[in-house]
Amino acid sequence: MQQSPFFSVIVPTYNRAEKLKNTILSILAQDFTNFELLIVDDGSTDHTAATVQVLVAQDSRIIYLPKKNEERSLARNYGLSKAQGQFTVFFDSDDFMHPNHLSTFRAAIAQNPETRFFTTKFQMDDGKRVQASHIAHWPAAHYSWEKLLEGNWYGTLLCIKREGKPLVPFAKEFNICEDWIFNLQNLQESNIFVIDAVTITVKDDGERSMAQHQKVIEAKLRAVNYVEKMLKLSPKQVDTLRLNAYKLCLVHAYLLGDRSQAFSFWHKIRHLSGLSLSLGVLWLKILVGKRLISKLQ
């Protein structure tokens, strides 16, 4: 009788054949081997199918799931519907999984049997340098869903126990901020355990959706409206949600070089938080502009 997988690793992909191959190889190199790898091909038009089929012939743990192009939210949902493992692990098709990623999850699961959601820490690689992530300093602990009102700390770098209350699927209306919405909706009744170990390298090569500044701004504002309608938030929680969303939008407006839009978000932030030294410094940076600051550095 064939052993059922402990983990189902779900990787949605679209036209990333070369990068995908390296990602798959990093997953196959795990020191914990009881897993299935679901490659959800969201209608790729490059040689993704041929690349994956070669690897499928070499390793029976790989399951190739082609589908029509409907963007990554529905691709992840499709992967979830096909998963057979006790735990689901999401992963992006251009990132690198360290050999101890799954074994780190396995150890944390054994130590926290009542916990449903887990995540590890990650590092960012832009091709020039590798940097720690914004949660690098967090101690290992269980964290409330309210932490997500401050930002999208975990992305889809999650490990989730399949047993339990049915998951709220990824919102098909979103393909930017969809991971943040998914986490907010599904962590309402559960804490997430953050493991103090770096087991992922996220490739930040400029092609990621977060580099599309105006699209991110528009998606974030739509996502905030969606979250406010879907979740029962207190006035204080709404203010926290909006404040941190406006901060993110300001950063992207600044990187876009749109001073007018950046100042608009600056005023929204001042209205919610009041004037401070850091906000004053931010005002000066917007006034001077990104290009001049880059020349002065």
pLDDT tens digits, residue range 137-149? 999 999 999 999 9
* Residues with Cβ within 8 Å of residue 55, at least 6 apart in sequence: 21, 24, 25, 28, 62
- Can you give the pTM of this predicted structure? 0.90
Q: How far apart are CA 61 and CA 37, in angstroms?
A: 6
Q: How far apart are CA 135 and CA 152, in angstroms?
A: 11
In the chain, CATH 3.90.550.10 sits at: 7-203
Q: How far apart are CA 90 and CA 290, in angstroms?
A: 35
Strands (E), 27-179: 35-42, 62-67, 87-90, 96-97, 117-125, 130-132, 141-143, 158-161
Task: Return the DSSP state at 169.
Answer: P
The CATH topology of domain 7-203 is: Spore Coat Polysaccharide Biosynthesis Protein SpsA; Chain A (3.90.550)
The pLDDT value recorded for residue 178 is: 95
Q: How far apart are CA 297 and CA 293, in angstroms?
A: 6
Q: Are strands 192-203 and 141-143 parallel, antiparallel or unpaired?
A: antiparallel
The pLDDT value recorded for residue 296 is: 33
- For the record, the structure tokens of 179 come out as 């991971």
The parts of the chain modelled with pLDDT lower than 50 are 1, 292-297
**What does the chain come to in residues?**
297
Residue 45: CA atoms inside 13 Å, Cβ hemisphere, count?
1
Residue 192 phi, psi dihedral angles, 5° rounding: -115, 135
- For the record, the structure tokens of 103 come out as 């074994």
Closest-CA residue to 149 (of 232, 67, 77): 232
Maximum Cα interatomic distance, the chain, rounded to a whole number of Å: 68
Q: How far apart are CA 82 and CA 73, in angstroms?
A: 15
Sign of torsion, CA 195 240 187 124?
negative
Are 90 and 157 within 8 A, CB to CB? yes
Q: What's the per-residue H, E or C state across 253-274?
A: HHHHCCHHHHHHHHHHHHHHHC
Q: How far apart are CA 277 and CA 282, in angstroms?
A: 9
- For the record, the structure tokens of 258 come out as 């749109």
